[in-house]
Amino acid sequence: MKVAYVTCDNPVARFDDEREILLGAWLGAGIEGTTLTWDDPRADWSSFDAVVVRSAWDYIERRDEFTAWARRVEQATRLFNSASVLEWNTDKTYLRGLGVPTVPTHWAEPGTNAELPHWEEYVVKPAISSGARDTMRTADRDLAEAHVAKLVGAGRTAMVQPYVKAVEHEGELSLLYFGGEFSHAVRRHPMLTETAIDDANRARLRDPDDDQFALAELVLSKVGERLLYARVDLVRMPDGEPVLMELEAAEPYLFLRYELDAPELFARVLADSL
């Protein structure tokens, strides 16, 4: 079986330290993996049994082009995750209609007023973004409103959330699933903090609590199709309730180095899907 491992022609791709791990696991499952950038004009996607999007991390600058590419590839071969999931999941407005508990969010569309709720601290970010790009954390309501106005003025949808302080002591919990099967979970160090963190402490394996498992399963049930890979990011609110921060089903980092069996599970699920 031949499968394309999709990355991007951008310096950000150098942070993809999971490629060799996955390609090795695929080979062990009888899958020959080939690395290609998603926008390579020479690529013959029909020559592959499947195409797996992994580190296409420059899509936020060219999302329309990326989603159009995904639809073309899906006409030629199997695409994971599907083009419809990639298009839906790369715009965080999907959170509005998912029907699960989420962090309270104020949405600001182009042409709307930027007046915000009164919260102690704000996180402002565009609905199409990754890696905290163009994201602001501030206790100054005027600064938050100004950043919203800047994003909206550029034709972007902005989302504003209260900063959840639980991430400072509990962190964010990411649950990793392959083919709907739970693989592992990690406690992630919060990104929007002034505390320096090295790679060794960026994340740690953790067993989710029952209510966190239940929420993650509910989130995945709302998607409507089986996902080859998914990362469910949760946080606890001040009252202890777990809520969804994001469902990452387009190009998530999978923390494969933290769980020895994870690459083999990914490879088995992929092989079974072909």
Span 155-203, pLDDT tens digits:
999 999 999 887 777 778 999 999 999 999 999 876 555 544 445 557 8
| CB-count burial class (<10 Å; 0-12, 13-18, 19+) for 42 | exposed
pLDDT in tens, 56-83: 999 988 999 999 999 999 999 999 999 9
pLDDT at 199: 52
Ranges 84-88, 149-153, 216-220: which has the least confidence: 149-153
Distance CA 101, CA 239 (A): 13
Strands 229-236 and 106-108, by their bridges, are: unpaired
pLDDT at 162: 93
- Chain mean pLDDT for the chain: 92
pLDDT at 132: 73
Query: Which residue, among 89, 77, 61, has the nearest Cα to 1 in the 3D structure?
Result: 77
- What is the arithmetic mean of pLDDT over 25-54? 98
Distance CA 165, CA 121 (A): 9
Ranges 21-30, 64-73, 83-92, 105-114: which has the least confidence: 105-114
pLDDT in tens, 195-254: 444 455 578 999 999 999 999 999 999 998 999 999 999 999 989 999 999 999 999 999
Q: Supply the pTM of this predicted model.
A: 0.92
Alpha carbon dihedral 205, 23, 90, 142, in 10-degree steps, equals: 50
- What is the arithmetic mean of pLDDT over 99-128? 90
